[in-house]
């Protein structure tokens, strides 16, 4: 599972680095357009967004929900997308249904106890059977052999795993949780201590409730799981029974939000499952409404004196998604003001462009790059301006004949530029005005902030 592991590791490196910034996390998420859509949808759901603040961008989601919750949501989305890519699909969907159901029940239980680890418990319950899900996705012939054994011999799952594989899949889950560093709580939940009263017990009970529900809410297994849960919460079975049944409907909605509606439909319901929500698509063209929402978020972050690095990340996201550009690079002047160097990059191929985005400031007032910094004059680079000084070196650097370069900084002097293009596709006057507007918002943030953002 090398590709699967690398996808997870990209996010785990961010989560495991105490020095990682919100900008670094947003950069990882925004590289994947489908992941961006799902993370934003989850960030706007009532299940995760308790403040009910509208979230239009990944950068804003990190502000509203917090760094760790957004990172864990992105990690879960990445895992689930990988797991849905193939294998014994009926078994994958069944495992996912159990995991989503268990996650919602576990989160409800820990919050019912008045403890704060709701999101951590949710992720632990969702990922504590990652080995089972990964096996059914990537197990190949062994997965098909185990499926035949379970279908024809009607053996218990643990017994069939020992017969076909010689080990239990829970051991695979334990190994993957450790190797991919999915969290100590998920590891503790897999080990399972019946005497525990901590959050890992909520994870275990979530899975007991999910499995018992498959036999029916009136089954002996369900009654036993309800009693154990009531004991954990110090409440009566009668008082929690309606809430636990209602949680199944919530779990179906959450599964759909994560992009697994088939799994949601398998979750046993006390009543009819709710309709599947529509999935909003990322804008592929300029979106004036999205631009306005991002500009409002930028204004709020500016007034709250947010870190300029985070504001520049949001500016780049606004130009990428709101204006509909393919590549965005924000470049800053070096401390000696002799070089302009890439600092923030978003879009396909933008990282490579950012790495080589290094332009000497030559002091020529007619040069489009020098003019952007020295006189605050932006430029729409296109065929009509091909003869302007500086155009050729910018086009050679970006490998694009058309692009925008808009300066930003304080009222007295510019400190950087926003560069954007559409990778060869034509630009337009409306987009140029929008990019200038985002550069203006960056200027306001710089003027109000004392943060040192000098380029390295």
**Distant-in-sequence contacts of 15-22, Cβ < 8 A, 24+ apart:** 15/68, 15/71, 15/72, 15/75, 15/181, 16/181, 21/307, 21/309, 21/310, 22/59, 22/62, 22/63, 22/67, 22/307, 22/310, 22/313
What would the pLDDT profile of 371-414 be if each residue is shown by its tens digit?
999 888 899 998 888 888 888 888 889 989 899 999 998 767 88
Q: Is pLDDT at 240 greater than 90 in this prediction?
A: yes
Give the pLDDT band of residue 420 (cuts 50, 70, 90): very high
How much of the chain exceeds pLDDT 90, in percent? 33
Q: What angle do CA 60, 56, 248 make, to 5 degrees?
A: 95
In whole angstroms, what is the distance from residue 405 CA to residue 330 CA? 10
Indicate the pTM of the whole model.
0.69
Q: Is pLDDT at 456 greater than 70 in this prediction?
A: no
Give the pLDDT band of residue 153 (cuts 50, 70, 90): low
DSSP-assigned letter for residue 385: G
Q: Say which residues have a Cβ less than 8 Å from residue 340's Cβ, sequence separation at least 6.
A: 331, 332, 333, 334, 357, 358, 359, 361, 369, 373, 416, 417, 455
In whole angstroms, what is the distance from residue 97 CA to residue 268 CA? 9
3-state secondary structure of 167: coil
In whole angstroms, what is the distance from residue 96 CA to residue 124 CA? 13
Give the distance, in angstroms, between the CA of residue 69 and the centroid of all CA atoms in the same chain.
Answer: 9
3-state secondary structure of 114: coil
Domain ranges within the chain, ordered by starting residue: 84-266, 288-448
Q: Is pLDDT at 204 greater than 70 in this prediction?
A: yes
CATH level 2 (architecture), domain 84-266:
Orthogonal Bundle (1.10)
User: How, if at all, do strands 379-381 and 358-360 pair?
Assistant: unpaired
| Homologous superfamily of the 288-448 domain (CATH) | GAF domain (3.30.450.40)
CB 38 within 8 A of CB 30: no
CB 91 within 8 A of CB 49: no
What would the pLDDT profile of 67-120 be if each residue is shown by its tens digit?
888 988 998 888 888 787 766 678 888 999 999 999 999 999 999 998 888 888
Cα distances (angstroms) measured from residue 110 to each of 113, 120, 132, 218, 233: 5, 10, 24, 24, 8
In whole angstroms, what is the distance from residue 152 CA to residue 61 CA? 48
Q: Which of 323, 313, 328 is nearest to 283 (CA)?
A: 323
**Exposed e or buried b per residue across 292-311, where buried means at least 16 C-beta atoms within 10 angstroms of its C-beta:** ebbbebbeebbeeebbbbbb
């Amino acid at each position: 599972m090398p590709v699967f592991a690398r996808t997870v590791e990209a996010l785990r490196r961010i989560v495991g680095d105490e020095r990682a910034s919100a900008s670094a996390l947003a950069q990882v998420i925004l590289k994947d357009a489908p992941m961006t859509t799902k993370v934003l949808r989850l960030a706007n759901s009532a299940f995760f967004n308790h403040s009910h603040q509208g979230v239009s961008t990944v950068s804003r989601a990190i502000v509203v929900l917090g760094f760790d919750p957004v990172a864990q949501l992105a990690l879960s989305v990445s895992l689930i997308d990988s797991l849905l890519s193939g294998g014994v699909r009926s078994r994958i969907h069944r495992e996912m249904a159990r995991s989503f159901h268990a996650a919602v029940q576990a989160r409800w239980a820990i919050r019912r106890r008045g403890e704060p680890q709701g999101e951590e418990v949710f992720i632990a319950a969702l990922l504590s059977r990652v080995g089972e899900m990964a096996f059914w996705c990537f197990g190949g012939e062994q997965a098909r052999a185990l499926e035949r054994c379970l279908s024809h011999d009607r053996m218990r799952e643990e017994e069939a795993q020992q017969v076909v594989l010689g080990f239990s899949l829970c051991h695979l889950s334990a190994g993957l949780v450790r190797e991919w560093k999915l969290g100590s709580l998920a590891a503790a939940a897999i080990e399972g201590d019946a005497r525990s009263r901590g959050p890992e017990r909520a994870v275990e009970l979530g899975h007991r409730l999910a499995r018992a529900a498959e036999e029916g809410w009136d089954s002996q297994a369900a009654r036993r799981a309800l009693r154990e849960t009531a004991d954990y919460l110090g409440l009566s079975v009668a008082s929690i029974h309606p809430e636990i049944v209602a949680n199944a409907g919530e779990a179906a909605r959450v599964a759909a939000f994560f992009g697994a509606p088939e799994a949601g439909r398998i979750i046993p319901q006390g009543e009819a499952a709710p309709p599947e929500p529509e999935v909003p698509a990322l804008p592929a063209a300029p979106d004036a409404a999205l631009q306005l929402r991002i500009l409002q978020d930028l204004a709020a972050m500016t007034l709250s004196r947010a870190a300029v690095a985070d504001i520049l990340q949001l500016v780049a996201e606004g130009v990428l998604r709101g204006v509909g550009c393919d590549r965005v690079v924000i470049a800053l002047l070096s401390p000696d003001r002799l070089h302009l160097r890439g600092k923030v990059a978003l879009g396909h191929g933008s990282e490579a462009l950012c790495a080589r985005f290094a332009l000497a400031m030559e002091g020529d007032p007619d040069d489009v790059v020098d003019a952007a910094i020295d006189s605050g004059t932006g430029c729409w680079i296109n065929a009509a301006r091909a003869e302007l000084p500086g155009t050729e070196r910018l086009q050679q650097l970006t490998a694009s004949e058309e692009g925008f370069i808009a300066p930003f900084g304080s009222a007295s002097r510019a400190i950087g530029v926003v560069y954007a293009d559409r990778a060869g596709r034509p630009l337009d006057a409306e987009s140029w005005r929008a990019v200038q507007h985002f550069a203006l918002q960056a200027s306001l943030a710089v003027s109000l902030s004392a943060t040192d953002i000098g380029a390295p």
